[in-house]
Amino acid sequence: METKVEFQSMGMFFNTLGLTTSAHVDLIGKSGGIWMLWNPNNVNVRISKANSQMILATISRQNYPEWMLSAVYASPNPRVRDELWENLDNKFKRDIKELIKIHKPDILVLMETKVEFQSMGMFFNTLGLTTSAHVDLIGKSGGIWMLWNPNNVNVRISKANSQMILATISRQNYPEWMLSAVYASPNPRVRDELWENLDNIAQDMNQPWLVAGDFNDYGSSVEKQGFTMNQNQNLTQSQTRSRKFNDRINHCNLMDLGCTGPKLTWSNNRQGWANTLARLDRALCNTEWRTQFLDGFVRNVPRTYSDHSPMMVYTQDIYFMEWRST
């Protein structure tokens, strides 16, 4: 990126390195420029879009699933940079449409939304999710949106703050149950406030209760993978953090529903030794919820738009065609 020269002056050089195939957008004047080069013997790259701020490509390799890559060089000009984010926003909308088409959720919860709800409300209306509750981001962080189709499910919101939306869920011919959609703060002290709230709810809870979302914590050292210079110190810190997290779960009389699909739901999206993976997202429930929904289960979907895997919680056995996720 920001190549400073035209591609034709360097093409033969990259050929000698085995990077014999390319897509490029040359600089405009003396600024910009994005080049994408690859070895076609190792990877297949199909370019679907290229402009001065982004090259969008489909990446595939034998025996591996396809995935999309947006190579970005955002303009220093704020107005031009807005155009880039409009393009990326369209990618987000395509992913959401695809997820809803496949999984047909009655309730959709989005976290760490990055934008205000009013900019997206009409889009969700077109998908049938016409009713919502939301806590918008504070500054540039946070945000929880809960959206649902009122023709299929009734949702009554009883509490909403920056880390949780608490709702009563009901549907015709099914018993009511409680849902806490959670986005735990990365700040440990603020996260303590979330668990104080959950603990207070648990003390008076006598209904089926599901607590699901991004807890920004992991339950064991197995649920985090990454390299650090001081492995022993990091292991001790991880064990202490995991023990505290599990104690909190137990104190609220909750159990982990487990999952199918990718076990480590978050990536820092760095390469090689710098890459870290962790299971930050999960669904917890009390005994009453587990007893009520014996066939309920969790399925994690591979990451696409986000650094987190989408998580589907099914309350009914899908073999009975009850593809209702929450």
Residue 52: its pLDDT value, please?
86
Give the dihedral sign, CA 179/170/309/306: negative
The pLDDT-based confidence of 323 (bands split at 50, 70, 90) is very low
* Distance from C-alpha of 185 to C-alpha of 182, rounded to nearest angstrom: 9
The more confident residue out of 61 and 64 is 61
The pLDDT-based confidence of 237 (bands split at 50, 70, 90) is confident
Residue 108: its pLDDT value, please?
93
Residue 69: its pLDDT value, please?
87
The more confident residue out of 313 and 65 is 313
In this structure, of 23-32, 239-248, 299-308, 312-321, the range with the lowest mean pLDDT score is 312-321
- Domain residue ranges in the chain: 7-86, 104-320
In this structure, of 22-26, 31-35, 231-235, 289-293, the range with the lowest mean pLDDT score is 231-235
For 104-320, give the CATH class: alpha beta
Residue 133: its pLDDT value, please?
93
In this structure, of 41-45, 217-221, 319-323, the range with the lowest mean pLDDT score is 319-323
Closest to 198 measured CA to CA, from 182, 185, 220, 216: 182
What mean pLDDT, rounded, does the chain reach?
85
Where residue 216 falls (left for φ over 0; alpha for ψ -120 to 50; beta otherwise) is left
pTM over 0.85, yes/no: no
Residue 326: its pLDDT value, please?
36
Q: What is the mean pLDDT of residues 45-74?
A: 85
Tens-place pLDDT, residues 247-262: 999 999 999 999 999 9
The pLDDT-based confidence of 325 (bands split at 50, 70, 90) is very low
φ/ψ (deg, to 5) at 166: -105, 130
Token pair recorded at residue 197: 């709230």
Residue 318: its pLDDT value, please?
34
* Distance from C-alpha of 292 to C-alpha of 207, rounded to nearest angstrom: 10
Residue 261: its pLDDT value, please?
92
Does pLDDT of 142 surpass 90? no
Residue 31: its pLDDT value, please?
65
* Distance from C-alpha of 55 to C-alpha of 47, rounded to nearest angstrom: 7
Does pLDDT of 28 surpass 90? no
The pLDDT-based confidence of 10 (bands split at 50, 70, 90) is confident
User: How many percent of the chain have pLDDT more than 70?
Assistant: 89
Residue 293: its pLDDT value, please?
92
Token pair recorded at residue 262: 């990718």
Q: Do 160 and 212 contact (CB within 8 A), yes or no?
A: no
Q: Do 19 and 27 contact (CB within 8 A), yes or no?
A: no
